[in-house]
Amino acid sequence: SQTIHQWPATLVQPVGSPLSLECTVEGTSNPNLYWYRQAAGRGLQLLFYSVGIGQISSEVPQNLSASRPQDRQFILSSKKLLLSDSGFYLCAWSVGEETQYFGPGTRLLVL
């Protein structure tokens, strides 16, 4: 069966520091991968998606970036965090275009 992991689970970072969040999927090949952010108030915002190694599509311009160095690894990064980057970051995967399966999330607090 497929599983999805995210780490760290919780992160507290100062403003201006770098960020690296990691997501890995097991039990499937060539998945589509996604990064979402959920701010206070529960709305979900798609940040990036990837349909293959090295292929990244950005949905919202911001100071975040994503990379996919391996088939089942998806990384969310920032060179300098802003206060507004605080939130709950969710990684998801799918095969094809439809049903997406989510990881446990990383809670980021920027101080």
Partner 1 sequence: GNSVTQMEGPVTLSEEAFLTINCTYTATGYPSLFWYVQYPGEGLQLLLKATKADDKGSNKGFEATYRKETTSFHLEKGSVQVSDSAVYFCALPGGDSGGSNYKLTFGKGTLLTVNP
Query: Nearest approach, Cβ of 21 to partner 1 (angstroms)?
Result: 13
Asked whether the beta carbons of 56 and 64 are under 8 A apart, the reply is no
CA distances from 75 to 8, 10, 80 (A): 12, 16, 16
Contacts of 19 (CB under 8 A, 6+ apart): 11, 13, 64, 76, 77, 78, 81, 85, 108
CB under 8 A: which stretch of 12-20, 61-69, 72-80, 89-97 binds partner 1?
89-97
By the rule CB under 8 A, 103 interacts with partner 1: yes
**Residue from 43, 54, 61, 69 that binds partner 1 (CB under 8 A)?**
43
Query: Nearest approach, Cβ of 65 to partner 1 (angstroms)?
Result: 18
Q: Which residue type, as a one-letter code, is found at position 66?
A: A
Binding site for partner 1 (CB under 8 A): 6, 32, 34, 41-44, 46, 49, 51, 57, 59, 90, 92, 94, 97-105
